[in-house]
Amino acid sequence: MTDYALLTEQITALTADCPWALANLANAAAALYWSMDGINWAGFYLLRQGKLVLGPFQGKTACTVIEPERGVCGAAFRQDRVMNVPDVHQFPGHIACDSASNSELVIPLHDGAGKRVAVLDIDSTGYSRFSPEDEEGLTRLARELEKRIRWEDLNCGD
Ligand code: SME
């Protein structure tokens, strides 16, 4: 399993001296993608004008705009909770960006005021790829990362 404490440290180091939010999210997406087995997509959707808009990612091209009513990303955002979906084909409204994806983990991200501003989305070709330990490690990582991003620079928000 990925050492999420180490990965969190690596992402913290990568973002520590860089004030630019876009660069930091881009490096975070790359670090996540290349540190985990069986992953075919890792990246961010950013809240803009009430919709989730594609941000930095690694993987195949993806849908650019997700309505908050739709998909696993929309559900995680709307309910402000982590969605760990073992079989995306069983998830009503799942958006199949890459037909190879079979399981998915989505974590809502917040600005300094606690407002939801984005989601981290990680897809896998495997079923049930994300164990409770993966979910916990990645959620902790996300809680650290969200503190290091200057969300206001990305014009995230309603
Ligand atoms: N599958 C997601 C859409 C984004 S892609 O996986 C990159 C969803 O259902 O929200």
To test ligand 1's pocket by mutation, which of 66, 91, 107 has the most ligand atoms within 8 angstroms of CB?
66
pLDDT category of residue 158 using cuts at 50, 70 and 90: low
Report pLDDT for 157: 73
Give me the pLDDT at residue 156, please.
81
DSSP string, 64-82: SEE-TTSHHHHHHHHHTS-
CB count in 10 Å sphere of residue 110: 16
The dihedral through the CA atoms of 146, 57, 126, 73 has a sign that is positive
97 lines ligand 1 (CB under 6 A): yes
In tens, the pLDDT along 50-96 reads: 999 999 999 999 999 999 999 999 999 999 999 999 999 999 999 99
Q: Which domains does the chain have, with CATH numbers?
A: 4-151 (3.30.450.40)
What pTM was estimated for this model as a whole? 0.97
Mean pLDDT taken over the chain: 96
- Taking residues 105-121, what's their average pLDDT? 97
* Residue 90, strand partner residues: none
